[in-house]
Amino acid sequence: MKTPFHNPRILFLAIATFAVGTDAYVIAGILPEIAHDLRVPVDQAGLMVTLFALAYAVGSPLLAVLTARVARRWLLIAVLWGLGVANILSALAPTFGWMLITRVLAAGCAALCSPTALAIAATLAPAQQRGKALASVNFGLTVATVLGVPLGAVISGHFGWVWTFGFVAALAGAAALTLTFSLPAIPTPPVASLRARFSPLGQKRILLGLTLTFFWAVGVFTVYTYITPLLRENVHVNDVSGLLLIYGLASMAGNGLGGYGADRWGTFRSILASLIVLAVVFLTLPLTTHFLASALIALVVWGIAGWSLYPAQQHRLLALAPEHSSVILALNGSVLYLGIAVGSGLGGLVLAYAPIATLGITGGIAELLALGTLLLSTTRLFTPHAPRHKPEQEAPVPSKDPVMMEPFH
């Protein structure tokens, strides 16, 4: 049986999203080296993650409107070349201020690249294979967590962090070059206004649902942004690429488990279990990361519990407002990156004024806040017209929603 990867264009689109995912997360593996060479404290170096995520979250809807009339094919090719150039500029950054500017440029390109690649994949694939094509392109982002981050750390360890950015630039350039000669013309989708994109925020149950995504991301990235210095200081292991690989594999398993759990036990129970386990893992990190064996267990449980939540949360949000399905997923993506920005900034503040072990406690508190929003969503205040038990079991999968075909993720 053929898979979407038998279509080389889908494979090149997956490579494009792999480059984006690697660029977004690789900083966590090389943060201490960049801080050392650019002569800034590690907590200040975390601003690279904060500004990247903030620029992605804010720029995504704005850039989507500004580029709505640009042909999808040329938009994707242009932002891939832009991503490559931005990473070359990051590699050549002589000062930390220059580095921050290049990270914002990269974020702007990334904010358009992933959703545009998904829209093109949905157009290229036959209707009966559209879901597989979208999953294949999303697979690039997942693999970036598993392989991109530890591979970037290995490259940095052997050749320097400059070549890690060069690796991302090479990926983006290779995808852009191949897609230039292989992509056909793609229809330009209808234009949706900013008001249409943000209209679901007027519903309090949707706003509360997105708040859960925000607190979850804050907790995860308060810790993950500084995972390399945390592991080096507590576990006393200089090369953490192997530990990051184990975490990535666990995250991939968690992503699959989250989809299964949402179908098998319902999204509420699946998310509830994920948040409870994740809060326990973070709150006990000051104890578990002092021994290699317990640190490995903590990373595995963290990866599975943390990333099993996201697909279940997407399913739950779709069920809350199926009439706004694509817009909801786009808003959820922006809120995710807003949470990353706040989490990485919060982690930097913790490092500046408290022991590094406090990162876990801070992340655990954020996950407890996410748990509180989940429990609050079951009260009559937020479910006045629906029963509390199966509010989100059925959600139609969007197929031809105009906003679905636009680069707003």
Query: Do residues 260 and 144 share a domain?
Result: no
pLDDT at 219: 95
pLDDT at 158: 87
Query: Do residues 255 and 367 share a domain?
Result: yes
Tell me the chain's radius of gyration from C-alpha atoms. 20
Sign of the Cα pseudo-torsion (219, 222, 224, 225, in order): positive
In this predicted model, what pLDDT tens digit does every residue of 207-239 receive, in sequence order? 888 999 999 999 999 999 999 999 999 888 888
Q: What span, in angstroms and rounded, lies between the C-alpha atoms of 162 and 168?
A: 10
Of 188, 223, 250, the one marking the end of a domain is: 188
Query: Do residues 200 and 172 share a domain?
Result: no
- Confidence at 190, pLDDT banded by 50, 70, 90: low
> Of 142-151, 242-251, 316-325, where does mean pLDDT reach its minimum?
316-325
pLDDT at 80: 95
Selected residue with higher pLDDT from 188 and 273: 273
- Confidence at 323, pLDDT banded by 50, 70, 90: low
Alpha-carbon distances, residue 277 vs 290, 304, 305, 306, 391 (angstroms): 20, 10, 6, 8, 23
> Of 38-52, 61-75, 82-96, where does mean pLDDT reach its minimum?
61-75
Query: Do residues 373 and 260 share a domain?
Result: yes
In this predicted model, what pLDDT tens digit does every residue of 329-351 receive, in sequence order? 678 888 888 999 999 999 999 99
pTM: 0.81
| Nearest alpha-carbon partner for 80 in 151, 172, 150, 190 | 172
Contact 60, 111 (CB under 8 A): yes
- As a whole number, mean pLDDT of residues 174-179 equals 91
Query: Do residues 271 and 375 share a domain?
Result: yes
Query: Do residues 161 and 197 share a domain?
Result: no
The total of other beta-carbon atoms located within 10 Å of residue 233's CB is 15
The total of other beta-carbon atoms located within 10 Å of residue 297's CB is 13
Q: Say if residue 391's pLDDT is above 70.
A: no
Query: Do residues 132 and 210 share a domain?
Result: no
Q: Say if residue 191's pLDDT is above 80.
A: no
Of 165, 188, 211, the one marking the end of a domain is: 188
Query: Do residues 9 and 65 share a domain?
Result: yes
Query: Do residues 183 and 208 share a domain?
Result: no
User: What is the average pLDDT value for the chain, to the nearest integer?
Assistant: 83
Sequence-ordered list of residues with C-beta below 8 angstroms from that of 347, at least 6 positions apart, any chain: 43, 46, 221, 222, 223, 225, 226, 359, 362
- As a whole number, mean pLDDT of residues 259-278 equals 87
Q: For the domain that residue 137 is a member of, what is the CATH number? A: 1.20.1250.20
Of 188, 205, 226, the one marking the end of a domain is: 188
Query: Do residues 347 and 220 share a domain?
Result: yes
> Of 46-55, 188-197, 258-267, where does mean pLDDT reach its minimum?
188-197
- Confidence at 393, pLDDT banded by 50, 70, 90: very low
- Confidence at 381, pLDDT banded by 50, 70, 90: low
- The boundaries of the domain holding residue 348 are 193-409
Name the residue with tokens 């997360």: 25
- As a whole number, mean pLDDT of residues 27-39 equals 91
Query: Do residues 233 and 302 share a domain?
Result: yes
pLDDT at 325: 60
Selected residue with higher pLDDT from 72 and 292: 292
pLDDT at 39: 93
Contact 252, 138 (CB under 8 A): no
As for how many domains the chain has, the answer is: 2
Q: What span, in angstroms and rounded, lies between the C-alpha atoms of 222 and 334?
A: 17
